[in-house]
Chain A
Amino acid sequence: GQNIDQPTEMTATEGAIVQINCTYQTSGFNGLFWYQQHAGEAPTFLSYNVLDGLEEKGRFSSFLSRSKGYSYLLLKELQMKDSASYLCAVSPGSGNTGKLIFGQGTTLQVKP
C-alpha cells in the first residue's frame, strides 16, 4: 500500500528551529516534495529531494534517506508567517507525472 506519516501538529517559538519529520512507504519512488499551505490558500512548493542528503534553500532545508523511507523539513529562524500546514508528498511513478501521494499535513503554530 501507499502510506505517508507526519505529525499532525507542532508548536514552536519565533526565532527557533523546528524539524518536521515524514516517513513513507510507497510502491515506487521518484522523489519527495515538501509544500507549504496557509489556511485557505494554495499549497506552494518548498523543496524536492530525489537523492539522499540535505538540500538547503535559505531558511528551509530538506533531508532524505531513501533506505529508511524518511525525510525531514528543517525551518530555521522561525517567523510568525511560517505558521501554516506543511505537506510531505511522494511521487510514486516514473517520468512526468502530476500524481503525488500526500501525507495529512503538519500544522505548525509559531508563537511569539
Chain B
Amino acid sequence: ETGVTQSPTHLIKTRGQQVTLRCSSQSGHNTVSWYQQALGQGPQFIFQYYREEENGRGNFPPRFSGLQFPNYSSELNVNALELDDSALYLCASSGAGRGAPNVLTFGAGSRLTVL
C-alpha cells in the first residue's frame, strides 16, 4: 500500500509568481484535502476534492485553486504569490466512507518559500 506522495519537497519562489504543487493519494483513497501549515502552527484547511470537484473550502482567497484528476491525484495552484504564503503545504487523502469522518493520511509536504 503506497502512501501519499507530494512534489516538489522544497521550492523557492518570488512575490507575484505562480506555483503548482502535486499530490498522489494513497491507494484506494478518492478524497484529497490540502492544508497550509505555517511555522509553529497547526495545519489550516484550504480545500477538499472529491470526484474531481471542489467539495468544501476554508478561508483562503480565490488565488488558491486546485484540481483532482481521474486517478484521484491532485494539484494545488497558488497565483500572485505573497510573502505570507511561505509555509508547508500538506496533502491528505481519505477513503469514501459514510458517517464518521475518515482518518486522513498525510504526505510529508511541500515547503514553499516566497522571497
Q: Taking beta carbons and an 8 Å cutoff, which residues of A are in contact with B?
A: 4, 30-31, 33, 35, 40-45, 48, 50, 87, 89, 91, 93, 95-105
Contact = CB atoms under 8 A, between A and B. Distances in A.
A30 B100 contact: yes
Contacts of A97: 48, 56, 101
B106 interface: yes
Interface in B30-44: 31-33, 35, 40-44
15 contacts: A30-B100, A41-B108, A42-B4, A43-B43, A43-B106, A50-B100, A87-B43, A96-B31, A96-B50, A96-B95, A96-B99, A98-B32, A98-B104, A104-B41, A105-B42
B33 A105 contact: no
Contacts, number: 79
Interface class of chain A by DSSP: loop
A99 B42 contact: no
Given A43-B90, A87-B42, A104-B41, A98 B31 contact: yes
Interface residues of B, number: 33
A91 to B, nearest CB: 4
Interface class of chain B by DSSP: loop
Nearest to A97: B101
Contact of A42 (B33, B95, B97, B108): B108
A43 B31 CA distance: 17
A7 B84 CA distance: 24
A98 B92 contact: yes
Contacts of B35: 102
Nearest to B9: A40
B37 to A, nearest CB: 8
B58 interface: yes
